[in-house]
Structure 1
Amino acid sequence: MSAIAWIALGSVAAWVWLLLGQGFFWRTDQRLPRRADPASWPSVAVVVPARNEAEVLPLSLPSLLAQDYPGPVDIFLVDDGSEDGTGDLARALSVRYGGPPVTVASPGAPEPGWTGKLWALRHGIGLARARGEGEGPGGPEYLLLTDADIAHEPDSLRELVAAATANRLDLVSQMARLRVATAWERLVVPAFVYFFATLYPFRRVNTAGARTAAAAGGCVLLRTEMADRARVPEAIRQAVIDDVSLARAVQRAGGRIWLGLADRADSVRPYPRLADLWRMVARTAYAQLWHNPLLLAGTVAGLGVVYLAPPAALGAGLFMGDAAAGVLGAVAWAVMTGTYIPMLRYYRQSLWQALLLPLTASLYLCMTVDSAVRHYRGRGASWKGRTYPRPEVAPDR
């Protein structure tokens, strides 16, 4: 066989293993587990870290104010040094829509060793505990940590708490459905969740005793007692990939975690241009590889063999007469396409887009390399005017 046929054979082997041996990552059936109303609804503090979110806050904050949760709820929006009037807008929205009490506070610039989001969460959790101690012993029983761009259906919080209490879960996290309105969003966004599930198969995360731990930072319900035991957020204060670090901290502390796709939470943040999506991915891609150049090289090679080799081998078969390469390339591409279809269905996209997964993977490969280049140029995890250097001790790891 030719060299490209051997590479295509490796791709087929990789896809057979991914299809059957990677926790059925491609399935989209991990939704909230069974729910049952508790005898009494626990108190919940909703903590929303926000930095320059005036564009999306009118779409997200009213959804929290409209929750039909039967128990006590307090909302704490932490304005993380915004320059667009986020805090004032949050106060105005709380007056306009009513609902649970909203506390808007600003903790000032993050102290050294903290990322901005975790610094804001620390301040919001502290306010929630102080409020709870003033109203009764123990503070809130649960914390809903949700991003400022996440809009919740009216029963979202009730369903999250019912799932957590019925299944004795310490952390329940949902991957919010991201926006797919523009052509670039349709090409890149479903693959973002698909690749995340490849790295952290939801079924494995949700299996008791499994070593795989992950969460989706946009929507996390966390039991306050477990937050104390896991020393959250102090234990992960330097984490750039804070959601995965949070899940690992809870798992190490003996907590039970669950991760799935959301039906009641949607991200309203727009990514209309490729440049917007590029920055979103490049911000954390190299941190995901622990800033390790050997892992970067292996990732680039792996992406090439798994996602790019199949169409190249098929092309060799069609235009160069390499029958073995063509057949193997077609088989690998067919399996790849089949694994992507469930995610496209979840995002209500045309299924023919599954054929474009090699193109999307090539974009992610370039984003990952660019993430490493940014890191070595001192612009690493840059987001909304802040750049976080590589921590001396990497909590993500």
Structure 2
Amino acid sequence: MAWSHQDKCAIVGVGSTDYYVRGKSWPRTINDMAAEAIMNACADAGISHKQIDGFSYYSGAGAGYLDKFDTASLMETLGMPHISYSATLTSGGGGCPGAIGLATAGLMNEDCTYSVTLMALQQLPQHRLGVVFGAAAPNPENSFLQPSGLVGPGHLMSVLARRHMHLYGTTQDAFGEVVMATRANTHNRPKAVRKNALTKEEYDASVMLADPLRRLDFCLETDGAVAVITTTMDRAKDCRHKPAVVHACAHGGQREWGRAFAWMGMPDPHFASSGHKFTADRVWAQSGLAAKDMDVALIYDHFSPMVLMQLEDYGFCEKGEGNDYVLSGKLRYDPATGKGVNGGTPVNTHGGNLNEAYIIGMTHIVEGVEQVRGTAINQVKDAEFALVSGGPASLPVSSLILRKD
């Protein structure tokens, strides 16, 4: 059954700051960076910031994982006259593309006319994401994790990765291919943090941080901000660029996944997965499409094994076949043809969280928009549909399909 909001809204503006290595954005502030990203998105859309009357957040309106956005403060910073919609999805980065669905809800209910979704983060020493669990105050839930040495997301993900290796024979070579394939897409990107080509020898020499995950299997720790603006299709046609049509969007998940690696109570086969099967099935049902119909996939890649597991959950390959799918080169983008390799779908043509910047998933939405506009740096030839995912994380995780107008 088609999604009731299908093709009725579109992303019309994208904007960002420069991307900084962790902590290097100081003395800038969260609001300063967020405001710059919003203004850049407005310029991209060809509208005034005073026309924005909605905010559609995710991560509980988080700015990073320890700061929070305040709508009134952003209005004061930007000189916005009024807002009529302010809402957020819960949990963390898993809700990133789902926030576009939240925007469509406000737009279709006529609560707002232009809604902005944004993320900004500044990882000062006391706000470093890599040790966020270890820095949390003990409580009955995280007291199970902290004494085990599981102090950061990478430690937690390593347990899921090892289980996938045990059940399906997945190899570390496949994790390395995820990193190398997406690194190959950053050499020509001005804002990318990691641009140098990566060899297998260099990957293998990367420090083991949480066995089986090496340093290069971890996403970047960066500062910066990204904003995107969503509106209705009738208004979108008056904006500067071709609209990136919101074709389908879903968020949620199954109880068996629940708090995921924040509680480690998932039974098999959910434990060795990305927790995306539920939202994947929903977004395919909403759109009448399947993995084979996607021209490009912007897969949330906070840790390399989670890309492999999402490819399985979305149906790019069968469960347990992610290792061979990845090692066949099917994630790679071929600039000579503008297509994938060996019949695959190019993944993270912008370099992703692993190589370009980690702004908690927002760079994936930007790349999806530019791909269906036809303006991406690593443009997929004749791209019509782009898949964007958010998470794995505690629920909700989310999925978005953007369509060429």
TM-score under structure 2 normalisation?
A: 0.25
Higher relative contact order (CA 8 A, sep 6+): 2
Greater strand percent: which structure?
2
Larger Rg: 1
